[in-house]
Amino acid sequence: IYVAIIGGLVLGLFIPIARPLFHLAGHAPDVQELEVIYFQILTLGAFPVIACSALGGFFSGRGRPWPIMWISSVGTVINLVLDYTMIFGKWGFPEMGIKGAGIATVISSYVSLAIYLGLEFRDPYERLYSTVSGWRFDCDLFSRLVRYGLPSGVEFFLDIGAFSMFILIVGRLGTMELASTNIAFNINNLAFMPMIGFGMAVSVLVGKYLGMDRPDIAERSVYSGFKLTFVYMLFVAIAYVLVPDVFIMPFTLKADATRFKEIHDITVVLLRFVALYSIFDTMNIIFASAIKGAGDTKYVMIMILVLSLALLVIPVYIGVVLLHKGIYIAWSFATLYVIVLGISFLMRFRGGRWRGMRVIRETPEILPPSGLI
Mark whether 113 and 240 lie in a shared domain. Answer: no
DSSP letter at 172? G
Note whether residue 306 is domain-resident: yes
- Asked if residue 371 belongs to a domain, the reply is no
pLDDT at 228: 92
Question: Residue 28 is part of which domain span?
Answer: 1-136
Q: In terms of domains, do 264 and 248 share one?
A: yes
| Statement to judge: residues 49 and 145 lie in one domain | no
How far is residue 76's CA from residue 84's CA, in Å, rounded to a whole number?
12
Please give the Cα distance from 227 to 284 (Å, whole number).
Answer: 13
Residue 372 in any domain: the answer is no
For residues 240 and 10, what is the distance between their CA atoms, to the nearest angstrom? 39
Residue 367 within a domain: no
Residues 185 and 263 grouped into a single domain? yes
Rg of the Cα atoms in the chain: 22
Domain stop point among 115, 136, 157: 136
How many domains in the chain? 2
Measured CA to CA, the distance from residue 92 to residue 117 in angstroms comes to 31
CB 266 within 8 A of CB 328: no
Yes or no: say if 66 and 127 are a contact pair by the CB < 8 Å rule.
no
Question: Does 335 reside within a domain?
Answer: yes
Which residue among 85, 102, 136 closes a domain? Answer: 136
pLDDT at 360: 59
Nearest to 59 by CA among 204, 198, 168, 199: 204
Residues 201 and 332 in one domain: yes
Residue 334 sits in the same domain as residue 276: yes
Domain presence at residue 116: yes
Together in a domain, 90 and 235: no
The pTM score is 0.76
Where does a domain end: 119, 136, 153? 136
Q: Is residue 369 part of a domain?
A: no
pLDDT of residue 243: 94
Neighbours of 324 (CB within 10 A): 10
Same structural domain, 76 and 212? no
Residues near 296 by beta carbon (within 8 Å), at least 6 away in sequence: 348, 353, 354, 357
219 and 278 together in one domain: yes
In whole angstroms, what is the distance from residue 181 CA to residue 171 CA?
9
Other C-beta atoms closer than 10 Å to the C-beta of 106 total 21
Instruction: Judge if 67 and 180 occupy the same domain.
Output: no
**173 inside domain:** yes
| The pLDDT value given to residue 134 | 65
Please give the Cα distance from 87 to 103 (Å, whole number). Answer: 10
What is the C-alpha to C-alpha distance for residues 101 and 335, in angstroms, rounded to an integer? Answer: 29
Blockwise average pLDDT, block size 10, the chain, 373 residues: 81 85 75 86 88 82 77 88 87 84 91 89 73 71 75 83 90 89 88 81 87 90 93 93 90 75 92 94 93 89 94 95 92 96 96 80 47 45
The alpha-helical segments, DSSP class H, found in the chain are: 2-12, 18-23, 29-43, 46-60, 66-88, 98-120, 123-129, 139-170, 175-211, 215-242, 244-248, 257-293, 297-307, 314-317, 327-351
**Number of C-beta neighbours around residue 62 at 10 A:** 15
Instruction: Specify the pLDDT at position 373.
Output: 45
Residue 148 sits in the same domain as residue 130: no
- The rounded Cα 284 to chain-centroid distance in angstroms is 13
